[in-house]
């Protein structure tokens, strides 16, 4: 987490979107407490895990006929930090996709963890994501071991940890379960 800037020195979300639009394709930027932060390139395992989760969610949607949509993360507004636009790895959006670079509609938010996700960063993201009005679950996914933590609005955002490839991640908000074996398929963890 960067040091917090004085409010008058912080970029607004509108300033940030104008800045990000001018950046080359392929760069991934987030607005964190008014500062534009460029993210390091993710690892192959990080991307594989994110793709596996997205594929599992797509399969669930297709077989259930659900109205929600899983999507790669875009800038996510959370009332807890007005000058922030973090970009989670994946989201489940409750409503129709509108093609925007920003959303306030994130029923479930997934972060596939990397070295840059320090304890302070994870706590900050939990605070911001839990303030998204319709968010029901915030899920962190480890990349070095088969471990997923699901934080739920229903129980005051306390975390429940699921470990082991023989377990499944329950997502009550969409009446779904994703086996951890599917999350970690084609990675060294499998």
Measured between alpha carbons, how far is 28 from 36 in angstroms, rounded to an integer? 10
Residue-wise pLDDT tens digits, 60-94: 999 999 999 999 989 999 999 999 999 999 999 99
Where do we find the tokens 């939990």?
126
Length of the chain: 190
Exposure string for 29-40, b = 16+ CB within 10 A, e = fewer:
bbbbbbbeeeee
Q: Which domains does the chain have, with CATH numbers?
A: 42-183 (3.90.1570.10)
Where do we find the tokens 């395992």?
45
Closest CA to 54 of 162, 141, 153: 141
Query: Which of the four pLDDT bands, split at 50, 70 and 90, describes residue 114?
Result: very high
Query: DSSP strand E in the chain: where?
Result: 29-32, 35-38, 69-72, 75-76, 90-93, 102-103, 108-112, 137-141, 147-152, 159-163, 168-171, 176-179
Output the six-digit token pair for 133. Answer: 């009005």
Output the six-digit token pair for 24. Answer: 């080359």
Query: DSSP strand E in 34-119: where?
Result: 35-38, 69-72, 75-76, 90-93, 102-103, 108-112
> What's the pLDDT at 30?
96
Predicted TM-score (pTM) of the model is 0.95
> What's the pLDDT at 2?
61
């Amino acid at each position: 987490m960067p040091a917090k800037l004085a409010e008058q020195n912080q970029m607004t979300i509108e300033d940030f979107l104008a800045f990000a639009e001018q950046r080359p394709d392929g760069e991934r930027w987030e607005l964190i407490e008014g500062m534009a932060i460029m993210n390091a390139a993710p690892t192959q395992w990080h991307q594989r895990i994110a793709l596996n989760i997205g594929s599992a969610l797509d399969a669930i949607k297709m077989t259930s006929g659900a109205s929600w949509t899983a999507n790669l993360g875009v800038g996510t507004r959370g009332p807890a930090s007005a000058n922030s636009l973090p970009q989670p790895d994946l989201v489940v959006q409750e409503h129709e996709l509108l093609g925007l670079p920003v959303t306030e509609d994130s029923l479930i938010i997934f972060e596939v963890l990397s070295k840059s996700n320090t304890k302070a960063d994870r706590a900050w993201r939990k605070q911001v994501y839990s303030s998204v009005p319709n968010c029901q679950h915030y899920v962190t996914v480890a990349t070095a071991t088969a471990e997923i933590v699901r934080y739920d609005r229903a129980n005051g955002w306390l975390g429940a940890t699921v470990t082991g490839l023989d377990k499944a991640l329950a997502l009550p908000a969409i009446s779904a379960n994703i086996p951890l074996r599917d999350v970690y398929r084609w990675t060294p963890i499998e």
